[in-house]
Amino acid sequence: MSAQPARILITGCNGQVGFELRRALAPLGTITAVDVGDCDLGDEAAVRRTVREVAPQIIVNPAAYTAVDRAESEPELVQAINARAPQIFAEEAARTGALMVQYSTDYVFDGSKNGFHTEIDQPNPINAYGRSKLAGERAVAASGAAYLTLRTSWVIGAHGANFAKTILRLAAQRDRLQVVADQWGAPTSAALVADVTAQLLGRYLRTVGATGARGGANAGPSDFPFGLYHLAAGRETNWHELAQTVVGAARAAGRELRLAPEAIAAITTAQYPAAARRGPNSRLDTSALRSTFGLVLPDWRVGIAQVLEQILEAA
């Protein structure tokens, strides 16, 4: 494996993280990037067929059903995409000795904890999206494949739909806005998720090269720290402060907006009815990832500033 570039399969390549992964993982091997038009994750046969045609040595699966509120009315579809598809990918990885990389979410927790959630905290999802992602995590862990599962939070990228783009659209249309201020987390740039993934996979490939192992569930390098890790930007904020940050940065960059940051009113979760329940605490403890892999994760404002610069340049 070390003598040849790794064959890497990336799903959801037109999504926020998938788009960035194509860039970040390109130096590591030969990339096959697929999206829903190439591989429908709701179709089990299509998922297996894609893996067997590509024969990847690393499967990276950021593709997911992420419409949190709509998931409440489509539980079967969200389970198929977020739970069953990762299970199939992982089963195929176990069969061939590939590495499986899966992404998950802070929504596997109910958000009632006062401090930062660690990897050993007991999950307790309170919406359909969170339940589906937890099922996907557990299916990957039970598959017998060598795996890395990265839980992240509040992902925002320059490519694809997200909170920042929604706020900018509304800021151009309205002079008043209400945003929830009692849900706390760390906005994490899609680029950071992709770049950290690249660092982890680079270490994996170097370890494989050093040991001569293929890296599968039974033949993998025993000294590589597989498993579940939390990946999020540093510090914390709430949606209200993030909205003010987005609008302030856009206005400072010369974007003409009707809305001023101070015209964004803070409201509670109870004042903003939604189909899916959301807990107040989405904060993830990233100390295991940082210490295990020697990483420094930047303040959330650094990544979001970079994303906003790209969004505004593209507008």
Beta-carbon contacts of 162 under 8 Å, excluding residues fewer than 6 positions away, are 16, 155, 156
Asked whether 90 and 61 are in contact (CB, 8 A), the reply is no
Q: How many CB atoms lie within 10 A of CB 138?
A: 16
Q: How many CB atoms lie within 10 A of CB 13?
A: 23
> Using a CB cutoff of 8 Å and minimum separation of 24, what contacts does 91-96 make?
91/143, 91/145, 92/47, 92/48, 92/51, 92/52, 92/59, 93/51, 93/59, 93/143, 93/145, 93/146, 93/147, 93/216, 93/217, 94/143, 94/144, 94/145, 94/216, 94/217, 96/55, 96/216
Rounded to whole angstroms, how far apart are CA atoms 302 and 296? 13
Choose, from 129, 147, 204, 229, the residue flagged as catalytic: 129
Q: Tell me whether residue 129 is one of the annotated catalytic residues.
A: yes
Residues with active-site annotation? 129
